[in-house]
Amino acid sequence: MKFTEKISNNLNELLTKNYDAEAGYKLAEENVKDNTLKEYFGRKAKERYDFGHQIKNEIKVYGESPDKGTSVAGDAHRLWMNVKSTLSKNSEEAILEETIRGEKNAIEEYQSILNNPNLPPTTEAILNTQLDLIKGTLEEVKAFEVMA
């Protein structure tokens, strides 16, 4: 496997995870009643959409094709999130908990790719910027959870 193909495969996995996160944020937006949370989740869905486009463009730079669509695991997670919020007395708290779990997983996935010592500087810069935003989101969601 060529080096660029390997990087593209890693980026495609991250792209799929961002599709999953975007869809998860849209679901969260639909399932919360609090307008502040609705707006917040809407902004986060858009942010993950933008992350996806940045990653797609980087994959194309390597001459590879970006994946399209969400993952089976992401679809299952959203189904669980939907069921959990429906059954929970405090659905917003349940959604925030699932969001925290998802963001922690995203941080691990980004860090795993960023641990590649041969990652091109442009890719590294994009992923570090996105990772910093995800870390900020994790802290914001934790603050929302405390208020819930």
* pLDDT tens, position by position, 87-106: 455 578 888 988 999 999 99
Confidence grade of residue 63 (pLDDT, cut at 50, 70, 90): confident
Structural domains of the chain, with CATH: 3-147 (1.20.1260.10)
Q: Are 57 and 66 in contact (CB under 8 A)?
A: no
Residues 99 and 116: their CA atoms lie apart, in Å, by 27
Stretch 13-35: mean pLDDT, rounded?
90
pLDDT at 81 over 70: no
**pLDDT of 141 strictly over 90:** yes
What is the percentage of the chain residues whose pLDDT exceeds 90?
53
**pLDDT the model gives residue 87:** 44
Q: Left, alpha or beta for 110 (phi > 0: left; psi -120 to 50: alpha)?
A: alpha
- What's this model's pTM, rounded to 2 decimal places? 0.86
For residue 89, which phi and psi values (nearest 5 degrees)?
A: -65, -40
Going by pLDDT thresholds of 50, 70 and 90, the confidence category of residue 74 is: low
Following DSSP, what letter does each residue of 8-49 receive, concatenated? HHHHHHHHHHHHHHHHHHHHHHHH---HHHHHHHHHHHHHHH
How many C-beta atoms surround the C-beta of residue 70 within 10 A? 19
- Backbone torsions φ then ψ of 123, nearest 5 degrees: -65, -45
Q: Return mean pLDDT, the chain.
A: 85
- Averaged pLDDT, 25-46: 93
What is d(CA 53, CA 80) in angstroms, rounded to the nearest whole number?
A: 27
